[in-house]
């Protein structure tokens, strides 16, 4: 396959390259792309060096699959051009996710939806992906009615500059100095920020709307109710989520364990164990820990869900979608 990666020098782009290597994806041609700012830099793929080309009208010619991770504005602009050149775009930004003509896919949850694509397939938001990988196997059996998710999201979700700002803010505060942030509105070191994306006039942040709207779309479940607060924490890599899931049917812990043990992409921890983001970094799995009957709601389970936001939350999910396309060539139109 001739594969282009737009945003090849970013955190997710780099992770996409690594994931293509790790999973031995059938790449015959590798075309790293970026905006003019990063064009000319060199990236490595399978031991060879490639110069990053500037994205342009004709660079997508002959490309079969284009993995995009360059932000919503770049996706809005370049995805239609890539598609008109014959590529299928797997887009990691929020640009196309809620477009009714664009499938929004978590391969473990709704792989069949990729067949509806018209050139663009959207990768869901990192926080949504890991929640649904954990919830979908339970939803299929017990029918999810409501869930609440409070997230502990790592700084790598914001990008490279944010990672540098995390270390800088921590170093400043350790020395007893104050710290003037540039990426976040407030220092992230030794702090937590309940603010991911803009907060609208209803008081809900963009990241919180994504949890609701993307979950409904991916599960094809438009009556699903969701409470959500999304919070940035001083962790480098790996998102954690405290989830309470309430079902229409009576759920049992025994059956939930069994379903999650069999579920693809999930590791369920027994006996009150859990995984922390420091442990989940660079893992492909969604870890479900502290699975228990919820104290407060009937027909409900509580759980602690951790996954690497750059892997399953972004690059891996995108590459898995590409693998579905390859294994089901009809879907490549």
Residue ranges that bind its own copies, judged by CB under 8 A: 146-148, 150, 152, 167, 170-171, 174, 186-187, 190-195, 199, 202-204, 208, 212, 225-229, 231, 233-236, 240, 242, 244, 272, 274, 276-279, 289-297, 300, 302, 304
Q: Give min distance, CB of 204 to its own copies, in A.
A: 6
Yes or no: say if 286 and 133 are a contact pair by the CB < 8 Å rule: yes
Catalytic residue selected from 117, 139, 228, 239: 239
Q: How many CA atoms lie within 13 A of 248 on its CB side?
A: 11
Cβ proximity to its own copies: between 74 and 281 the closer is 281
Q: Give min distance, CB of 9 to its own copies, in A.
A: 23
161 labeled part of a ligand binding site = no
172 labeled part of a ligand binding site = no
Catalytic residue selected from 117, 126, 139, 228: 126
217 labeled part of a ligand binding site = no
Q: Give min distance, CB of 201 to its own copies, in A.
A: 8
Cβ proximity to its own copies: between 55 and 269 the closer is 269
Yes or no: say if 125 and 209 are a contact pair by the CB < 8 Å rule: no
Handedness of CA 291, 297, 300, 306 (dihedral sign): negative
Cβ proximity to its own copies: between 32 and 187 the closer is 187
Cβ proximity to its own copies: between 2 and 236 the closer is 236
206 labeled part of a ligand binding site = yes
Three-class secondary structure assignment of the chain: CEEEEECCCCHHHHHHHHHHHHCCCCCCEEEEEECCCCCCCEEEECCEEEECEECCCCCCCCCCEEEECCCHHHHHHHHHHHHHCCCEEEECCCCCCCCCCCCECCCCCCHHHHHHCCCEEECCCHHHHHHHHHHHHHHHHHCEEEEEEEEEECHHHCCHHHHHHHHHHHHHHHCCCCCCCCCCCCCCCCCCECCCCCECCCCCEHHHHHHHHHHHHHHCCCCCEEEEEEEECCCCCCEEEEEEEEECCCCCHHHHHHHHHHCCCEEECCCCCCCCHHHHCCCCCEEEEEEEECCCCCCEEEEEEEECCCHHHHHHHHHHHHHHHHHCHHHHC
Is position 126 annotated as part of the catalytic site?
A: yes
Cβ proximity to its own copies: between 218 and 325 the closer is 218
Cβ proximity to its own copies: between 64 and 167 the closer is 167
97 labeled part of a ligand binding site = yes
Q: Give min distance, CB of 162 to its own copies, in A.
A: 13
309 labeled part of a ligand binding site = yes
Q: Give min distance, CB of 230 to its own copies, in A.
A: 9
10 labeled part of a ligand binding site = yes
Question: Residues comprising the binding site?
Answer: 9-12, 37-38, 97, 153, 156-157, 206, 232, 309
Annotated binding-site members for substrate: 153, 206, 232
Residues annotated catalytic, as ranges? 126, 239
Residue set of the binding site for NADP(+): 9-12, 37-38, 156-157, 309
């Amino acid at each position: 396959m001739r594969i282009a990666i737009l945003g090849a020098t970013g955190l997710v782009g780099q992770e996409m390259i690594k994931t293509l290597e790790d999973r031995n994806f059938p790449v015959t041609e590798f075309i790293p792309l970026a905006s003019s700012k990063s064009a000319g830099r060199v990236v490595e793929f399978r031991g060879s060096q490639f110069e990053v080309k500037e994205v342009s009208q004709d660079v997508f010619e002959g490309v079969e699959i284009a993995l995009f991770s360059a932000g919503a504005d770049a996706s809005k602009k370049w995805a239609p051009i890539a598609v008109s050149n014959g590529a299928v775009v797997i887009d990691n930004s929020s640009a196309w996710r809620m477009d009714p003509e664009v499938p929004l896919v978590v391969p473990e949850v709704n792989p069949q939806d990729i067949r509806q694509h018209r050139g663009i397939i959207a990768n869901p938001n990192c926080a949504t992906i890991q929640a649904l990988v954990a919830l979908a196997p339970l939803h299929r059996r017990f029918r999810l009615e409501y869930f609440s998710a409070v997230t502990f999201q790592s700084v790598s979700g914001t990008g490279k500059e944010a990672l540098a700002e995390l270390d800088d803010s921590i170093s400043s505060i350790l020395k007893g100095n104050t710290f003037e942030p540039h990426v976040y509105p407030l220092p992230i070191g030794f702090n937590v920020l309940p603010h991911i994306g803009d907060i609208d006039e209803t008081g809900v942040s963009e990241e919180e709307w994504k949890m609701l709207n993307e979950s409904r779309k991916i599960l094809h479940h438009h009556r699903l109710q969701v409470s959500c607060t999304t919070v940035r924490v001083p962790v480098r890599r790996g998102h954690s989520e405290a989830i309470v899931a309430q079902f229409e049917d009576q759920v049992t812990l025994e059956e939930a364990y069994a379903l999650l043990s069999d579920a693809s992409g999930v590791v369920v921890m027994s006996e009150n164990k859990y995984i922390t983001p420091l442990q989940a970094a660079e893992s492909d799995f969604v870890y479900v820990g502290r699975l228990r009957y919820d104290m407060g709601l009937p027909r409900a389970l509580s759980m602690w869900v951790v996954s690497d936001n750059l892997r399953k939350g972004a690059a891996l999910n995108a590459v898995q979608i590409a693998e579905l396309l390859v294994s089901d060539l009809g879907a490549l139109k």
